Structure formats: structure tokens, C-alpha cells
Amino acid sequence: MKLMAPLFFTLSLLQFACGPSLVCLNFTDSIVDSAKDTVSFITFGDWGQNSGNQREVARAMHDFCLTQDCDFVVTLGDNFYETGVSSITDTQWYDNYTCIYSSVGLPFYASLGNHDLDGNIQAQIDYSQIDETWHMPGTYYSVNFPENSEAPVIQFFIINPYDFTDTQTTWLTTALAASQANWKILVVHTPIISNGAHGDDAAQINSQLLPIICNQIDVVLAGHDHIFSHLRQTLDSCAIEQVIIGTGGGNLHLGDFSNDTRVLSTGTFFGFGWLQATSNQLDFKMITAEKSTYYSYQWTK
């Protein structure tokens, strides 16, 4: 990981407010330059609970990124439990976000979950103007990496499944058609298919979504079910490759979720996903809070 400009919170303040500190990694907002041929990121959902489990996942992220390339974080929703944030000055911004993740030193690209919608959605958008580490320009948006490249290695299409209006579907259709990225990843809180407690299509948008993303999206990243799972299914003639990572710190959904023929791997534990993309290869590792690799997979073009 590159050394970068220091975070605005000092290490001594973090030690006082957050308990025993980690080595504070450095942060920059220009994270992936156009000359870089790999893009690496952390992803997880269902996290903002200010729990010991959330802290253990953050610590594992920190330690992992000391030796592995990590450029940024993509959240999979439910950023703040139980009812989102009330404002840009809500204490949860410090307690559940800055205090826990500042030592990780990575920018966050956030998506919305159902618990976030119970609070002030605009506050999560507006917070992007206050904290340079937090990115949410809208309830749905797209972002490329490297950002200034004509043919990005990767492009994320981050949607809001709870307000999947004609406006959003038109935007997604247009954005996918215009994309020149080698890898196209859909980020949606609710899984398209799931072996978890909530089941398939909890937001009931598959009938609208599948015709848009079919043969357009390489991988779907989702949360909502508080488990890890890699699933594959052809649904309405559309091949779905999906990873659920609802393991960021919210209470786990306990049970045996392995009895599903669509499942390549699944487990109930806290942790995060790490992905590294080149122009023709996408590597995935699921890392537990205990810092072990639970599962690895590789997609190629």
C-alpha cells in the first residue's frame, strides 16, 4: 500500500477515544492512477453496529492491507444500525465509522441498505462533502477505477433496490451500455439469489433488473443476509454470478445454509472480501475476522 497524506484525526485522539490503536495507515483521495494495471478493494456489508465484531473485522482488514494491495472499500449496505443516521452530525459517524476504520486508511464507496433507509438518506450523501474518506454521491451511482482511464479495469454500478424506479432503470441501462470497463460489478444490498435467511429477491426487483444486467454484469456483490456465500445460477436465461458478504459486524444469521445446489461456498462468520482485478483476471478471497482465508476463487476473461 502506498504511503499517503495523514488522516485528519491524530493517532493520539484515536487511542483515547477508540481504545487500543492500530498502526495508522495513510489516506489519499486519488487512489488508483491510470498507469496502474491492477485494482484491489475490500468489500463487506451489514456492519455499522459499533460492536466488538465490527472492530475485529476492521482490525483484520488493517492487518491484511499491511501486506496486500488495498485501494478502497465498497460497502454493501446497512452502514448504520438500526435506523441509519439522523444527520451529518450524528454521533454514529464517529462511533461506527471514523473511530473504527480511520486506521485502515482507505476511502469508502458506500451503498444503501434497508436499515439506512430508516434514517436520513440525504445525510449519508451530504457527508461526502464533509469527510474525504466517504463517497456516496447519490442513492445510486457508478464509479470507475482507474478513474481517468478510457478503458477502466473495473466499473461499479451501485444501485438502490428499494427505489428501483424507471429513472434508475434507465440510468443503469444507459450506464452499462456506455461502459468500456474490463470488469463490470453490480453492487446491490439485496441479493438476486440467496441461500440465506431472506431468500431470493427480497426487494422484488428481479423482473426489472435481470433484463438490464443479463450478459452485461460479471459479478454481483450483495449483503442483507448476514452470511458469506458464493452462488451461481442461470435465472430466466441469465447467468448470475453472485457473492454475498453480509459479514461486516452485524449480528450473524445462524443456521445451516449449505443445502442449496446453487452454492459454491458458504459460511457463517465475520469477515470481509478482497478482490483484485487486472484486465483479464479477477481474484477473490474471503477473509475471516481471525485473518484466515476461508475461500478463494478466480474469474478470467
Question: Is 7's pLDDT higher than 60?
Answer: no
Q: Render pLDDT for 197-232 as a digit per residue (tens, 0 to 9).
A: 999 999 999 999 999 999 999 999 999 999 999 999
pLDDT at 25: 56
Tell me the average pLDDT across 122-145: 97
From CA 281, how far away is CA 269, in angstroms rounded? 27
Give the mean pLDDT of 264-279: 97
Between CA 74 and CA 189 the distance in angstroms is: 11
pLDDT, position 10: 36
**Segment (H or E) for 221:** strand 219-222
Q: Which residues neighbour 175 within 8 Å (Cβ) at sequence distance 6 or greater? A: 142, 157
Give pLDDT, residue 24: 52
CATH number of the domain enclosing 96:
3.60.21.10
Residue 16's pLDDT band (cuts 50, 70, 90): very low
- The pLDDT, as a whole number, for residue 139 is 98
Residue 178 lies in a domain: yes
Is 176 contained in some domain? yes
The pLDDT of residue 37 is: 85
Nearest in space to 202 (alpha carbons), one of 279, 131, 114, 267 = 114
* Residue 150: predicted pLDDT: 80
d(CA 80, CA 199) in angstroms, rounded, equals 22
Please report the pLDDT score of residue 33 as a whole number: 64
Structure confidence at residue 236 as a pLDDT band (50, 70, 90): confident
pLDDT of the residue at 206: 97
Q: For the chain, what is the domain count?
A: 1
Residue 1 lies in a domain: no
The residue among 94, 102, 99 whose CA lies nearest residue 133 is: 102
18 against 46, higher pLDDT: 46
- Decide if 282 is inside a domain: yes
E strand or H helix that includes residue 234:
strand 228-235
Q: Is 119 helix (H, G, I), strand (E, B) or coil?
A: coil
Is 24 inside a domain boundary?
no
List the Cα angle 133/90/250 in 5-degree steps: 75
Mean pLDDT, the chain, rounded, equals: 90
At 112, is the pLDDT very low, low, confident or very high (cuts 50, 70, 90)? very high
Q: What is the pLDDT of residues 17-29, one digit of tens each?
A: 565 455 555 555 5
State yes or no: pLDDT of 123 exceeds 70: yes
What is this structure's pTM?
A: 0.91
pLDDT at 117 over 80: yes
Output the pLDDT for position 102.
92
Residue 100 placed within a domain: yes
Contact (CB, 8 A) for 168 and 160: yes
Kindly report the number of other CB atoms within 10 A of residue 218's CB atom.
18
Instruction: Give the DSSP per-residue string, 1-12.
Output: ----PPPSS-HH
Lookup: cell for 159: 444501485
pLDDT band at 14 (very low <50, low <70, confident <90, very high): very low
Distances (CA, A) of 5 to 8, 25, 297: 9, 9, 33
The reply to whether 268 falls in a domain is yes
User: 154: alpha, beta or left, given left = phi > 0 and alpha = psi -120 to 50?
Assistant: beta
Domain membership of residue 155 (yes or no) is yes
User: Of residues 97 and 255, which shows the higher confidence score?
Assistant: 97
Domain residue limits at 129 = 12-17+37-300
Q: Which pLDDT score, from 0 to 100, does residue 18 have?
A: 64
Q: How far is CA 168 from CA 18, 32, 49, 112, 300, in A?
A: 39, 27, 29, 14, 30
Q: Which residues contact 113 (CB under 8 A, 6 or more apart)?
A: 45, 46, 76, 77, 78, 79, 189, 223, 224
Question: Average pLDDT for residues 245-259, to the nearest whole number?
Answer: 94
